[in-house]
């Protein structure tokens, strides 16, 4: 005699983007002055997904790097490039490119929408004619199905 067990499995949908270090949505370069060596900030992105659909990761910059006084660092001085962390999908910026104001696609997953991880390296080459101060911009990062 066999007992039949009715089993129901719930598999909640997972579609999360983790950014570390947690920057509160902004990148800051403090106390910049002329003739300093380049400044670098690294950010790791990890997407957890079980939806089995292709997705992309985007960044939206609200402005170029700007000081409290309203001084703006020209965009050619602020770049990003990406490095693989056993990445399965496609890095859109493996070579250094200027960080643009507005939206930029950083990454597209493999066709299966596999969980993935990658690194973005932001680099500021300090202009020779920079006005001393703190410079920042705000970023919004998002993950969306495509």
Residues 87-127: pLDDT tens digits?
999 999 999 999 999 999 999 999 999 999 999 999 999 99
Dump pLDDT digits (tens) for 49-64: 999 999 999 999 999 9
What per-residue confidence (pLDDT) applies to 12?
83
Q: What is the DSSP letter of 93?
A: -
What per-residue confidence (pLDDT) applies to 131?
92
Q: Which is more confidently placed, 18 or 8?
A: 18
> Where residue 22 falls among pLDDT bands split at 50, 70, 90?
confident
What per-residue confidence (pLDDT) applies to 118?
97
Q: How far apart are the first and last CA of the chain?
A: 51
Bond before 21 cis per omega within 30 degrees: yes
């Amino acid at each position: 005699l066999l007992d039949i067990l009715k089993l129901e499995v719930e598999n909640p949908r997972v579609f999360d983007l983790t950014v570390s270090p947690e920057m509160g949505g902004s990148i800051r370069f403090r106390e910049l002055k002329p003739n300093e060596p380049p400044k670098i900030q690294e950010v790791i992105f990890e997407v957890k997904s079980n939806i089995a659909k292709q997705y992309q990761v985007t960044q939206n910059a609200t402005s170029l790097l700007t000081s409290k006084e309203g001084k703006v660092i020209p965009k050619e001085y602020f770049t990003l490039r990406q490095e693989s962390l056993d990445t399965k999908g496609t890095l859109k910026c493996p070579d250094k490119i200027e960080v643009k104001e507005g939206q930029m696609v950083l990454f597209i997953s493999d066709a299966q929408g596999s969980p993935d991880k990658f690194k973005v390296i932001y680099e500021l080459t300090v202009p020779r004619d920079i006005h001393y101060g703190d410079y920042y911009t705000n970023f919004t990062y998002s993950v969306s199905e495509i």
